[in-house]
Structure 1
């Protein structure tokens, strides 16, 4: 666990650039990078029905040879088992219990907790619920074998992560024209099939979690003109057909989609063709560096690492260093406003604060060194503001129910925009935290003390809707108090629980790792994160920082701040 967290927290010296797509989320992937573990053995002689079914579930984690390891547990009459029908991901603890027993036939029930489902396109859909399935076991030549079973496979989470690799499949954010990642899961073997499978995932379009929020330069009718293959010079040839008319910008976006996706499986060079002709004639062979600037997190990577900040005592203050606790220059630090929370864009060009005004709170925004401007967003409570990429919008939640969006344009006063957040409201409970993802196509929220994600869908008329709300790991992540984005597809969650105060969670909820709670005093109140920088949390005594290291403990960076709310620009 310690080794994983050390990599997760990526102890990169401040000021080092982050390569787009090379963020800390990759280390959260405890899946194979191409070499699966040895296939599980078949059933041992004399195995009883209950252990036989349990061994079958263990073996189902290996998808090689159409789940060949699991098929060794089957009787001949079950040879038609459709293993491709579905993949149900189970929690680690599951039971096999007898339902009906006989001398040569018995029914065994698999009973456990479903975490979610893996779709045919490799996307994980969280859906936590109890699950049961009955399996008929018969005695053949003195040995028990499975004669009848449901279609699809049941896979423990640990086995899925051991036998599949995580990749990011890229699609286009229509609002910004950049490509954004969509997590998928590929069988680790055979490795030679992974490139073709990755291209198939691209052709299949975005996962349900992002459908309607992102698009693709690959049309529904687009296919392969020839099979994905390796050229004699070692480059991977991807030849598409039925692509339609694309302008130069769209062609470059398509190139970024394909090349960045294939780089996830270590493809270094792609010859991208359309009906045998290079997509980009001037660059027939493309590498990751040719398209990296189109990745949504490229701006974060290029922005200089900035010092973390903290709101305490009504002012924005520096955090860490010799002048830690010193108010920053300007209105947010000189007492002009009674600041309760604040946010800053990655480049520091825009700021937003929640200002206390008697018994009310108001959102105030500003650009550069100009005086801050009040907005009409007020309420008894406002959540910590969160900026969209580029500093064009700032969001907050009013009184736990209304998601407010303020549009900031150069030379114009801030104006209110609407957000249809009914997908969050339908979950029930107050919205106590809301954070925009670093690529701008998702939000993470705390709704009724649960961790929730949703995608940001922008219509041509400028309206914005939050859609596809998903509750992530409710059984493991109870009493959530705050969330922030570690990267475009990793979340950091703070909870009031003593046993799991801080967690790292993949955006789809599949991967969940607990961060050491050493030195912290729950309940926590706030959390802040940024790529390749230490995690920050606030407990009752102040602000703590976690960078991993040999001691694997949290370090106090600001004590005596019971009201502290730390944050990073971004």
Structure 2
């Protein structure tokens, strides 16, 4: 619907409906009605308040124009792709499933005519090609991709001598800018199978991509009821009974003037008890609040009667997103290798933490504080030993829980990390025996975590609060890349727990060197890294490998650590050669303290 790098005017120009009314968008580019179709490229990014609908094929349109119109229709806001289907004929029109996948290319697909003639009545084929960036499957799950895209469109003349497409690849394809204009990332929520935060179930974010202007509320409800994506499914459960779906007569869903959304369900949900219904409503509420702040309450109905309703205040006792409470302090290691902390108030003053880590008796290279801020795990300055101690006055240091025999500091322990269940994670980088350790809550016996499919050495570990997702910076072949894996736990017959990290997937495919990482929300991380030949940058990434619209952050050089919280209200901190810095909203980085080597939030 427009072009990056080529002027075209298309008779298949779309009609766009703005918030204030309908306006006809003139062709922002031109397209030939004869000759080769050399570039079917992405639409430049447009106002998100504008809805774009494709035009149907015009009488007598050439094959070039038909192909152009069809590809543009794939990027429109037509809810069912009914206009795009008008460019098809025969079995293609009946069997095409646009919702089966979305292929994202760096720019829109290039179409080249390949063959004319050869079938009765005349025919022509166009080759579509481009460079893959990502794919979204039928579960709306995003996966980074690479390599060539190569597909074929075949056209014939119908019984009215009009050119139409009779062979089409399944799904839709578009350029990256059109994907950003059309889709947005939203979290749906399920419960961790084996994890709780206090007395509440641990809610786990499952990010999916939905079309922005095609009734996203109803899309998200349907997606939530359909169940978790395949990647997350082994470690979560849903509160909804199997087969639960929207009622057949459910129309587009929207909150009322009290910010309450009523969701009518089918008969599979009838008869659920209060506790079960509350869990279902919590999942629904968390999911919808990820989409819009306009929902304060969810009411579930089935069989024409009200099942239950749930507000945000009541949901806190049912399920927890992230830690049960937001952080009270920011922590950092000062120039004398002691653990310091600072409250998050405006008049914050740094102070030494109570206990052994704050008195300077043991020089520290890195520390992690438990999410309830009662304990801390510290690695000594030489990286050899891991200690765990209480953050209370007079608490002793005790003996190290783990010791690394790596030859150098860089071959020893990483910075540790806590989940919200009180489990502690740390990697030993010893090349002779690299391994990921887990120390369960209240258990001093480490478990070696298996990492099938891991190619390289773990240089950083950050576990999500829910305990079922873990971010690993992995060094391999001169690169340091960020991967997110799924934590699976099983009990052997003897009762011993077996823990593994499964299906590691890249979260920063475009970065060659990732040097620091921190979870920054339920499904987002903040990373420090650089592209090949590029400069160091600080940016947000989604745990599925996609980039949020607010990905870029103000530049910062020689970053040593980055501190973000899954509580979105907590500010962002970092350490660099300039000391401890923070990032106020709408401004650049500001120095708070000239000497600090590492800064971090609980976790």
Question: Secondary structure of 2:97's match?
Answer: coil
The alpha carbon displacement at 1:353 in A equals 0.7
Contact in 2 for aligned 1:311/1:342 (Cα 8 Å): no
Question: Secondary structure of 1:374's match?
Answer: coil
Distance, in Å, in 2 between the alignment partners of 1:216 and 1:86 is: 23
Q: Is 2:249 the partner of 1:216?
A: no
- 2:414 matched residue in structure 1: 383
1:511 to 547, 552, 574: 547
The alpha carbon displacement at 1:186 in A equals 2.8
Moved more, 437-446 or 197-206: 197-206
- 2:454 matched residue in structure 1: 427
Structure-2 change in CA distance of 1:560 and 1:198 (3 Å):
closer
- 1:483 matched residue in structure 2: 517
Q: Is 2:299 the partner of 1:271?
A: yes
Distance, in Å, in 1 between the alignment partners of 2:134 and 2:503 is: 15
1:495 to 529, 533, 543: 529
The alpha carbon displacement at 1:505 in A equals 0.9
Contact in 2 for aligned 1:57/1:156 (Cα 8 Å): no
Structure-2 change in CA distance of 1:130 and 1:433 (3 Å):
farther
Distance, in Å, in 2 between the alignment partners of 1:56 and 1:553 is: 45
- 1:26 matched residue in structure 2: none
Contact in 1 for aligned 2:114/2:127 (Cα 8 Å): no
Distance, in Å, in 2 between the alignment partners of 1:246 and 1:147 is: 48
- 1:148 matched residue in structure 2: 167
The alpha carbon displacement at 1:510 in A equals 2.5
Question: Secondary structure of 2:180's match?
Answer: helix
1:537 to 568, 574, 582: 574
- 1:343 matched residue in structure 2: 368
Contact in 2 for aligned 1:172/1:214 (Cα 8 Å): yes
1:60 to 66, 74, 79: 74
Structure-2 change in CA distance of 1:204 and 1:142 (3 Å):
closer
Structure-2 change in CA distance of 1:338 and 1:57 (3 Å):
farther
- 2:439 matched residue in structure 1: 406
Q: Is 2:161 the partner of 1:160?
A: no
2:557 to 521, 533, 547: 521
Structure-2 change in CA distance of 1:437 and 1:330 (3 Å):
same
Q: Which runs of 5+ in 2 are unaligned?
A: 1-44, 407-411
The alpha carbon displacement at 1:352 in A equals 0.9
Distance, in Å, in 1 between the alignment partners of 2:512 and 2:385 is: 30
Distance, in Å, in 1 between the alignment partners of 2:250 and 2:277 is: 19
Structure-2 change in CA distance of 1:160 and 1:393 (3 Å):
same
2:211 to 183, 187, 196: 187
Distance, in Å, in 2 between the alignment partners of 1:349 and 1:311 is: 20
Distance, in Å, in 1 between the alignment partners of 2:150 and 2:282 is: 43
Contact in 1 for aligned 2:473/2:483 (Cα 8 Å): yes
Question: Secondary structure of 2:94's match?
Answer: coil
- 1:92 matched residue in structure 2: 106
- 1:115 matched residue in structure 2: 133
Distance, in Å, in 1 between the alignment partners of 2:305 and 2:163 is: 57
Question: Secondary structure of 2:82's match?
Answer: helix
1:239 to 262, 265, 269: 265
Residues 185-239 of structure 1: CA deviation (Å, up to 9, x unaligned):
3334442x843x4343233221122111111122334456664467999851433
- 1:415 matched residue in structure 2: 445
State the TM-score, normalized to the length of structure 1: 0.78
Structure-2 change in CA distance of 1:514 and 1:200 (3 Å):
closer
Question: Secondary structure of 2:280's match?
Answer: helix
Contact in 2 for aligned 1:90/1:154 (Cα 8 Å): yes
Question: Secondary structure of 1:453's match?
Answer: strand
Structure number with higher relative contact order (C-alpha < 8 Å, ≥ 6 residues apart): 1
1:352-391 superposed matches below 5 A = 352-356=377-381, 361-369=384-392, 370-379=395-404, 380=406, 381-390=412-421
The alpha carbon displacement at 1:115 in A equals 3.1
- 1:557 matched residue in structure 2: 592
Structure-2 change in CA distance of 1:277 and 1:42 (3 Å):
closer
- 1:456 matched residue in structure 2: 487
Contact in 2 for aligned 1:228/1:236 (Cα 8 Å): no
Residues 59-110 of structure 1: CA deviation (Å, up to 9, x unaligned):
3123524223434555678533513362233133245153625487543332
Distance, in Å, in 1 between the alignment partners of 2:530 and 2:214 is: 43
The alpha carbon displacement at 1:403 in A equals 1.1
Q: Is 2:188 the partner of 1:169?
A: yes
Greater Rg by CA: 2
2:468 to 438, 441, 444: 441
Residues 439-465 of structure 1: CA deviation (Å, up to 9, x unaligned):
322111112311211122233554332
The alpha carbon displacement at 1:428 in A equals 1.0
Residues 242-298 of structure 1: CA deviation (Å, up to 9, x unaligned):
45997764443223123333444545543324555554xxxx333333324434236
Contact in 1 for aligned 2:81/2:98 (Cα 8 Å): no
- 1:296 matched residue in structure 2: 320
Distance, in Å, in 1 between the alignment partners of 2:163 and 2:577 is: 58
Count of residue pairs brought into register by the alignment: 517
Contact in 2 for aligned 1:62/1:159 (Cα 8 Å): no
Structure-2 change in CA distance of 1:132 and 1:417 (3 Å):
same
Structure-2 change in CA distance of 1:48 and 1:313 (3 Å):
farther
1:258 to 277, 284, 287: 284
Contact in 1 for aligned 2:322/2:522 (Cα 8 Å): no
The alpha carbon displacement at 1:395 in A equals 0.4
State the TM-score, normalized to the length of structure 2: 0.74
- 2:600 matched residue in structure 1: 567
Distance, in Å, in 2 between the alignment partners of 1:245 and 1:415 is: 45
- 1:20 matched residue in structure 2: none
Contact in 1 for aligned 2:101/2:170 (Cα 8 Å): no
Contact in 1 for aligned 2:330/2:342 (Cα 8 Å): yes
Contact in 1 for aligned 2:425/2:436 (Cα 8 Å): yes
